[in-house]
Amino acid sequence: MERPAADVDLPTQYRPAEVEGELYERWVAAGLFSADPTSDPARPPFTIVIPPPNVTGSLHMGHALDHSIQDTLTRRRRMQGYETLWLPGMDHAGIATQNVVERELAKEGLSRHDLGREAFVEKVWQWKAESGGRILGQMRRLGDAVDWSREAFTMDEPRARAVRTIFKRLFDDGLIYRAERIINWCPRCLTALSDIEVEHSEREGELVSIRYGSGDASIVVATTRAETMLGDTAVAVHPDDERYRHLIGTEVELPLTGRRIPVVADEHVDPAFGTGAVKVTPAHDPNDFEIGRRHDLPSLTIMDERGVITVHGPFEGLDRFEARPAVVAALREQGRIVKEVRPYEHAVGHCQRCATVVEPRVSLQWFVKVEPLARAAGDAVRDGRVAVHPPEMASRYFAWVDNMHDWCISRQLWWGHRIPVWYGPDGEAFCAGPDEEPPAGWTQDTDVLDTWFSSALWPFSTLGWPDRTPELERFYPTSVLVTGYDILFFWVARMMMFGLYAMDGVAPFKVIALHGMVRDQYGKKMSKSFGNVVDPLDWIEEYGADATRFTLLRGANPGGDVPVAEDWAQGSRNFCNKLWNATRFALLNGANLDGDLPTELSPTDAWILSRLQNVTAEVDGHLESYEFAKACETLYHFAWDEVCDWYVELSKVPLGDERAPGTRRVLGEVLDRLLRLLHPMIPFVTEELWTSLAGADTLVTAAWPTAVPTLVSKDAEAEIESLQRLVTEVRRFRSDQGLKPGQRVAAALDFADSPLGAHEEAIRSLLRLTVPDDGFSATASLPVEGVTVRLDTAGAIDVTAERKRLEKDLAAARKEVDQTTRKLANADFMAKAPEAVVAKNRARLTQAEADIARLESQLAALPRA
């Protein structure tokens, strides 16, 4: 039965704020996002584990993009009949969280040392329960269709057990070791840092050239960190550098110290850089550390953990940045400065959390031996077990895993997974697994593990590993990892290494889908210092979650950065409103899904159904290729341009006559399929509209549409495209004549043998053309698409002004024909011009000739003044 108009209860306007929150909670309460590992085995699994945001974090545009992509993928697979699991959770964010809680304590005049380790950790857990995880609520506002019943945290008990298990296995396999190595050190956070926790930026420093030794036995080195010379234990040169070959194996005096240090030959020195000689400070530079190991050089630590000089003498007790100019001044006084200090741009590493300049430092730390793990991670992509998308990003991945250094995993913090190693009274060590107890009286290592260590287990620890749970059996490996290319090198590689190691060579995901960074509309990185940061919650509040998501997805090309602007969000809101108004119109006019489609279709109905099949196939292809921008553009233009601007308008005539039942059914079919296709991207507005149209409970679990080839009709598409060209041309003529869009004009239509004659009523409706009376006299005549449209524009236009305008356009068109004809007749031009340029000129000539014919016809149709 047809739905009567009285059943339509959609408001006249769509107000997202009144819909989204309540609708989301209804979805969650109904368990629509819950995954069942014991469901029908015929249902293929689809799994995404969310890249866990920091417990200290809040939703930013990068999150909004990342989550919109993951939600789109998950919602579509659910509609396709997959058993879907999108698993949420958070990362404990060791340094960031400890800093937050320490700042809170400082307000009370306390430090963590005042509380002690156990009480401080308890305080962090309390903060997490009360204030942490704000981003989880923000994910609900965005519409994340995650299985909240499986929410995980990198510090909860199941994840702690997984961490202990893999640490023990790696330790027993000789892949975890403790050693003195040079690491990134934050003098403010007082901990080692991983590479990803160090942000490099170009800074202007001062390059100082210093002479070591004297006379023929002297050598000049350049440095931006003059204070580190106090810890130099050698000068290195390239073995083939003729300038210094006589000095290799000799010693030079190190200024200010009285020590003599050797000149060593090392192939890693670049003789073309600077003076070709480098100072070697093994304890305070990673490259120098490697040179020191190759030449068995001593390693002298000259700073304490806070960056204060500890070398006995005039600089002792100075901060490293105070010591730098003091050392330069002392060298200048001794005449050791060869070149005066000059500005020098170079990359400086800063702590990601507190922005303190990082200090390379030799320290006793725990490391993962990555060589065999990284090789396996590279092989998994090379042999096709894991696909990187877009494929060109794979080279970046290989550049990292093929050149990875051993991973420093220990942190000098209190918040985190404590290293499960205990020491005996004689220094012996015992690594305890999750079900083991250390010997009585032994002392546990005070360090905690790098946050990335526990998050590297995320794809399988969240599914119950190390136990063989139903979830692990059904949902591992996960289907796709969606993340930004900026952490490809760090988190992604670590998950690959640990997943392959722990899961018997099975990679943690089948596809790595990389997206870019969100930037402003000018392509500039968002930064507080630039003043261009956009809070997605502001957009959600103003325009709705759907509009925010659609704006981001429309710019999401694989691997490419995503520009956004507020007026684009306004445009997305307008798109949602357009859908709302079109669907409401359709429902008020009885659009329905009752029964089968009509067996006899009008050309208009056949056209829109044909276009719907083509669009369905296009969107499917784009989404399978992670081409979210293309999928959104296809749906946007189909919905706005073809469904709303053409089909809805064309349907108004048959909705008022005997053809109404068939048109109502087709209109319902088109909107049903369109709303299903759009649902993964804009779930809220489509849910509201579809449930009103279908009379069903939810669109979340409705079937994903598939193209029906038998409904494709090239003839119908050609016929309606011809009608569109006719209407467009006459509308342009009306506009050129200065006629208002709603102004009715009498016109005679001569269809001759054109099939468009069957659409006369629709054409007249679209063009505001009335049937001429007996006194009709045409003042203009347009031959378009085999149809002659004769209009009476008398009194509606200024004939003299219109003739002048047309004559001006005609002169320009004739000039274009003359210029392009002469160019194409020029043998020299034709011989030298690229084929594309020649083709462009030929196209211009054809267009100009068509313009002349059209303009001459219009001039002939104008009445004489």
Q: What is the DSSP string of 423-477?
A: E-TTS-EEE--TT--PPTT-EE-S-EE-HHHHHTTHHHHTTTTTS--HHHHHH-S
Phi, psi of 604 (to 5 degrees): -65, -45
Tokens of 799: 């004939």
Rounded to 5°, angle at Cα 434 from 432 and 435: 90
| Lookup: tokens for 514 | 């990389």
Tokens 């002349």 correspond to what residue? Answer: 852
The predicted structure's pLDDT at residue 398: 93
Question: What is the reported pTM?
Answer: 0.85
Length of the chain as a residue count: 865
Q: Is 56 helix (H, G, I), strand (E, B) or coil?
A: coil
Using alpha carbons, select from 840, 801, 802, 841 the residue that is nearest to residue 821.
841
> What is the set of domains in the chain, with CATH numbers?
5-10+544-712 (1.10.730.10), 16-153+469-543 (3.40.50.620), 191-359 (3.90.740.10), 798-865 (1.10.287.380)
- As given in the structure block, the two tokens for residue 533 are 């940061």
pLDDT attached to residue 346: 66
Residue numbers in the known binding site are 528
Question: Are 235 and 291 in contact, with CB atoms under 8 Å apart?
Answer: no
At residue 372, the pLDDT reads: 97
For the beta sheet containing 277-280, the strands, ordered from the edge strand earlier in sequence to the opposite edge, are: 251-253, 260-265, 234-237, 277-280
Calculate the CA dihedral of residues 728, 733, 736, 739 and round it to 10 degrees.
-90
pLDDT at 523: 80
How many helices (H) and strands (E) would you count in the chain?
Answer: 28, 29
**DSSP, res 268:** T
CA dihedral 181, 187, 191, 192 (to 10 degrees): -30
Alpha-carbon distance of 804 to 781, in angstroms, equals 18
Q: What b-and-e string marks burial along 296-305, b requiring 16 or more CB atoms within 10 Å of the CB?
A: ebebbbbbee
How far apart CA 87 and CA 35 sit, in angstroms, is 9
Annotated binding site for ATP: 528
Which residues does the chain have with pLDDT short of 70? 1-8, 196, 340-346, 527-529, 795-797, 861-865
Q: Encode 234-272: b = buried (16+ Cβ within 10 Å), e = exposed.
A: bbbbbeebeebeebbeebbebbbeeeebbbbbbeebebe
For 199, the enclosing helix (H) or strand (E) is strand 198-212
Specify the pLDDT at position 528.
Answer: 65
Q: What is the pLDDT of residues 150-174, one digit of tens each?
A: 999 999 999 999 999 999 999 999 9
Q: Which residue pairs, CB below 8 angstroms and at least 24 apart, start in 518-524?
A: 518/61, 518/62, 518/64, 518/65, 518/552, 518/561, 518/562, 518/563, 518/564, 519/561, 519/562, 519/563, 519/564, 520/563, 520/564, 520/565, 521/563, 521/564, 521/565, 521/568, 522/563, 523/561, 523/563
